[in-house]
Structure 1
Amino acid sequence: MTKISEASRNWWHEETEGIAFTHAMDMTLLHSEQSPYQKIEIYEHPVFGRVLTLDDLVQASHSDEFMYHEMAVHVPLLGRQRENAEVLIVGGGDGGILREALRHEFVTRVVMVEIDRRVVEVSKEYLGINGNYDDPRAELVIGDAADYVRQARQRGDTFDLIILDLSEPVGPSSSVFTRAFCEDFSACIKPDGVVLDSDSIFVGKDRAYFLQELCGDKDQNLVSIMQRERLLPHVAAYRSIVQLYPAAEFGFFLYSLDGHDYSTPVAELTGRHYNPELHRASFALPTWWRTNLGF
């Protein structure tokens, strides 16, 4: 067991202002910069390894990034028989989603649209969890995802899977937490495709809260927009944990045209976190989910 010295503490706090909640880690700052879009920092923790934060919010760590990345990719990709699958990653600057998507030979194209080149570069240098940007199937686009998706819609470009790997609705991500963006990505999904969204969830004494709504305007909550507007008429959910995300309870949300049931894997894969049994079990939702979140 790693022993942490009591002599010196370097407490870093992530604050969720909407419900006056904070969690803290004793970490050493390795890198800090202000890009044109956001504050990018890398910390070292004696137990959790290196931690990427954007605007003081945890994005990924060596200890648990695979929990999020594997569940975000393998459930929607292996929950349906596919050939020649095309994937769009919205955000994803640390590169972990790209890494997991490229594990599948049937994935023939992966477009990753990240607004901040420095997130990609800093993550490669300090975290090293990214997929291979030189893979011929991969296309890295540095630009605004809202613009990319709007232009993709105009040219009729569609995908089998769109993964919304977004930070909270502050800073550069705020442009995509809109109904217009939801309309655009809904038009870019194939008839048998699916959009994957996700968020941390807090359970309060009266109701459950999405982190998106706590960090920004309640009207900029993508899950609520999709549930209310039914731009893609079928909304389903599964769950996991990601230990360093606020509250640890983490939800994944599937938006589709045809309402396919993604709860049964069509192929075997065992990752560091993902396995077929966990795939199935992740769709078993607690009663409070059904009562508070409408699933």
Structure 2
Amino acid sequence: MSEFKWWHERSDGHGITTSVEVKLLHSEKSPYQRIEIYDHQSFGRLLVLDGYIQASQADEFIYHEMAVHVPLLGRERKDASVLIIGGGDGGILRESLKHDFVTSVTMVEIDQRVIALAKEYLAVNGDYDDPRVTLVIDNAANFVSQALQSGQRYDLIVLDLTEPVGPSSCLFTEKFLTEVVSLVSETGVILDSDSIYLSQSGGDFLQEVSGDGDNLVTVMQRTKLLPHIEVYHTNIPLYPGADFGFFLYSRDGVSLRKPVKAFEGRHYNADVHQAAFALPNWQKKWSTVQD
């Protein structure tokens, strides 16, 4: 257990994988998934769920900052409410709480052990004791159905999901998306994200490779539950291919590419915000929001 050994992320037949030389610090099988914590000499500690890297201490801030600050700062918002579905490492929660205009953050995570282990080993989480925070340990589908019945609405819904091979698999469906869409405020957005590959057939997504050939982007394109899709991207070194896409689903199609407030993170700034929407031609086809 004390030696560093080569470990390979699962590829599910894609023919390419991420390999890292790591030391195993912890491994357990929760009621929902295999949870592993590894240590890497450069990236620090890694959270791995069912064979997929979820976060590393070295680069997690890139994903979490870009996932939160772009949709929250791309449009004037007051008394904003955030719903996080998944997000067990706590990074999305951390970044959401940095804005005073965010008055409530609800985080729904099915696996309490992911939260506990990420907090113990990675320590990248936000403050679960912040009075604005409501932490719910439940299946996201159950929570969404109950929130729908009680008339809840959210300005930003972040789908911070694992690949569709574990407890998240039931969420990559038209039924679930239909209910989630009903929780978005009139000016709100749903944020989805995924690793992007370029193959001979065009752009591919990790969700398609690890699942049954569908992903949330293609479901939303087909159903038009929210008719407007705006795309931006960034580079995250330890995610497959390093090219990582973010997808904003909205009702009114107002572009979020220009920040309305000044904010500086470790990665995020106003220039990075705007530049993230500059897409190569082969990715522009995914966006329905024009310049």
In the superposition, the TM-score normalised over structure 1's length comes to 0.95
Structure with greater helix share of residues: 1
Counterpart check, 1:85 vs 2:80: yes
Aligned to 1:284: 278
Aligned to 1:216: 211
Q: 1:112 aligns with which of 102, 107, 110?
A: 107
Query: After the TM superposition, which segments of 4 or more aligned residues of structure 1 sit over 3 Å from their partners?
Result: none
Counterpart check, 1:227 vs 2:233: no
CA contact (8 A) 2:4 2:23 kept: no
Aligned to 2:22: 27
Counterpart check, 1:274 vs 2:286: no
Which structure 2 residues correspond to residues 1-295 of structure 1 after superposition, within 5 A?
A: 10-219=5-214, 221-291=215-285, 293=286
Change beyond 3 A, Cα 1:72–1:294:
closer
Unaligned runs of 5+ in 1: 1-7
Q: For the residues of structure 2 that align with 1:118 and 1:43, how far apart are their CA atoms?
A: 16
Aligned to 1:3: none
Letter in 2 for 1:39: R
Q: For the residues of structure 2 that align with 1:218 and 1:154, how far apart are their CA atoms?
A: 32
Q: For the residues of structure 2 that align with 1:270 and 1:74, how far apart are their CA atoms?
A: 10
Q: Give RMSD over aligned pairs.
A: 1.1
Q: For the residues of structure 2 that align with 1:267 and 1:252, how far apart are their CA atoms?
A: 20
Q: For the residues of structure 2 that align with 1:150 and 1:120, how far apart are their CA atoms?
A: 23
CA displacement at 1:40 relative to structure 2: 0.5
Q: For the residues of structure 2 that align with 1:217 and 1:237, how far apart are their CA atoms?
A: 23
Q: For the residues of structure 1 that align with 2:255 and 2:236, how far apart are their CA atoms?
A: 24
Q: For the residues of structure 2 that align with 1:60 and 1:23, how far apart are their CA atoms?
A: 13
CA displacement at 1:15 relative to structure 2: 2.3
CA displacement at 1:18 relative to structure 2: 3.6
For residues 84-124 of structure 1, the C-alpha deviation after alignment (integer angstroms, 9 at most, x for no partner) is 00000000000000000000000000000000000000000
Q: Residue 43 of structure 1 aligns to a residue in which SS? A: strand
